[in-house]
Structures are given as C-alpha cells and as structure tokens.
Amino acid sequence: MSIPLQFRPDGTFTIAQFTDLHVGGGKAELDARTLALTELIIETERPDLAVYSGDMLYGKETAEPVATLRRIVEVAERREVPFAVIFGNHDAEGGATSEELLEGIASCRMSLAEAGPADIHGVGNYVIAVKASSLEGPAALLYLFDSGDMAPASVGGYAWIRPDQVDWYRRESNRLRQRHGAFAKPVLLPHSGPRVQGDLGIRAGRGHSSGSRMLPSPEQRVLRRGAGERRYDRRLRRP
C-alpha cells in the first residue's frame, strides 16, 4: 500500500525500529511482555514510521508464523502508524516462506512492505521515500534489504546481503539521485550487513551486524533502548 510519508513542520521524522523480537517460541508471557513494550514505545514516541527489521519470529518453534507476524505488526496497525518489514535469518524457519509471510500482512492498511525485484537475492528489497515538509521531492530515502537466512553449507552460519543487492542499491541510488538531486539522504536498513567489509563503502560485517553501522549520514541520531536484542529510535532531521 502506498502511504505518503513526510517530515514534520519542525523538520523531524521519527523511526521506531524493532529487531530480534523473537515472538512465538512458546513462552506466552515473554511474548506478551515484548509486544506490550513495542506498544508502549509506539505510544510514547509517536513515530512517523515503525520498521520491523528482522527476526520478529522465534524460528522453527513458531507454530503459526503468519498469524504470529500479523499479531506483531497489529500493534502499529491498530495505532495507525505506517510500518515496514524486512526479514532476518529466523523468520522463515517456522514453516512459512518469506513470500508467504509477506502475503500474510498484505491486507494490513498501514503496511509499506514490498517484495521488491525478483531478479536479485531476497524478498523485501525496496525503497521508501520521505518527503520534505515544505519542498517538492523526498528529503530522505530509506533502503530496506532482505539479508537472507542461512549461508551456503560450504560457508556455514547465517546469510548476508549479496553483491547483486549491493548493485541494486547502487543503481537505485544513482537513479534517484539523478531524479531528485543529492538532497535526499540515504538511510540503509538491513537485518545483517554485507559479508565483505567495504561492499557499500561503509563499515559492515558478516553476521548480525547492527543497522546503525550502515548509516552513512551523520545527521541520523541513534538512541539505544531495549526491545528484543536491539532497538534503535532514529530521528532524522533535515539540514
């Protein structure tokens, strides 16, 4: 669904990012506390966008993965906060594919999630534009990546952002820069980063690399708070 996003008149745009919630592991009390915390954060911060950036589901133990994911995003849906979703290495372990999970939230009114191009790795590589409060065109471009689940057996461990996704980012970045100019600041939102440091010209590493390492612009202020393993509340401010 296309929901226009825009900086506020005071020049700010708040993103509440939730990652590694790991809901659905058979511990109902922990799940309830986790979702209550996400609701409290959304109620308190009143974000312009919520981003669920991977490992929302516990993994193989998740009995009803689609229903569980809908339960997670229902917090933002109920409060009419636009939300985006990308998948981590555990989300598709519970019997539903990434495509099925994405289809399961397609009917949510506030969802901005997209499957993205079919000719590169991953399900959920897409761009969200945030318009300036008073000017034409976007002031920020949010790039979301599916970093995959398991690495090839010859490598072991978890997957990472692949070179064709990096190439996609470069193409999209160049295209949008030509269209809108250099004013639109990029913000990169993966679950895990590229395997080889320097793929994007920024600091990143194999495995569960933090999304904050992939913020190339110093204008993003990152505040750490606890919801799941990591949670970042990003307040973007226009220059």
User: What DSSP assignment string belongs to 66-115?
Assistant: HHHHHHHHHHHHHTT--EEEE--SSGGGGS--HHHHHHHTTT-TTB----
User: Residue range 133-141: average pLDDT?
Assistant: 80
Instruction: Output the pLDDT for position 184.
Output: 72
Closest CA to 71 of 21, 118, 119: 21
Q: What is the pLDDT of residue 187?
A: 82
Checking if the pLDDT of 205 tops 70, the result is no
Strands 230-237 and 220-225: antiparallel
pLDDT for 186 beyond 90: no
pLDDT band, very low/low/confident/very high, at 213 (cuts 50, 70, 90): very low
With tokens 């397609």, the residue in question is 106
- 81-111 pLDDT, tens digit per residue, is 999 999 988 888 888 999 999 999 999 999 9
What is the C-alpha separation between 69 and 103, in angstroms, rounded? 11
- 96: tokens are 């539903």
- What is the model's pLDDT at position 117? 96
Average pLDDT, the chain: 80
Q: Cα-flanking dihedrals φ and ψ of residue 16, to 5°?
A: -95, 115
CB count within 10 Å of CB 157 equals: 12
Helix (H) or strand (E) holding 142: strand 138-144
Is the model's pLDDT at 188 over the cut of 60? yes
What pLDDT is stored for residue 197 in this prediction? 43
pTM of the predicted structure, to 2 decimals = 0.79
> Two tokens at 133?
């409060």
At 16-63, the pLDDT tens digits run 999 999 999 889 999 999 999 999 999 999 999 999 998 899 988 898
Side by side, which strands form the sheet with 5-6?
A: 5-6, 126-131, 138-144, 185-189
CA distances from 18 to 22, 68, 228 (A): 11, 15, 7
Q: Which of 235, 236, 111, 129 is nearest to 172 (CA)?
A: 129
What Å distances lie between residue 239 and 10, 52, 85, 182, 184, CA to CA?
Answer: 11, 27, 27, 12, 11
Categorize the per-residue pLDDT at 236 as very low, low, confident or very high, splitting at 50, 70 and 90. low
What residue has token string 């970045």? 173
Residue 226 has pLDDT above 80, yes or no: no
